Amino acid sequence: MVKRDGKSDREPLFEVVWPLGRTFLEAPISGAPISDLKGKVVGALSNHLFQFDQMLPVINKGLEERFPGVSFVDHKVFGSFHTSREVQVFANLPQLLRSHGCNAVIIGVGG
């Protein structure tokens, strides 16, 4: 707490700091959107929030009905990114997605 004039104040004066940290990641490289998931592999990424385990089967069923031949890689394969190990989880993610042949991912299921 910083006092305005060095005397005892009733209202404290606080130093302001920038609330956002520095960004260390480069902007992601985005590919062209996938217009048809027929025959594609979709990975699921979970932070285990907002009833993800209940929502994912509903989402998968809808995708299967719309895109015959679509297949899924379960979120447990990739690990939760809502963890103290999230930096490690994200560092391993590109290789895991490639090794499972994922063409797309489901992430950010929310309400």
Q: What is the DSSP string of 16-51?
A: ---SSPPP-SPPPPP-PPPS--TT-EEEE---S-TT
Query: Going residue by residue through the chain (111 aa), what tens digit of pLDDT does each one get?
Result: 445 555 555 677 777 777 776 666 676 667 788 889 999 999 998 877 777 788 889 999 999 999 999 999 998 888 777 777 778 888 888 999 999 999 999 886 654
pLDDT for res 21: 66
pLDDT for res 2: 47
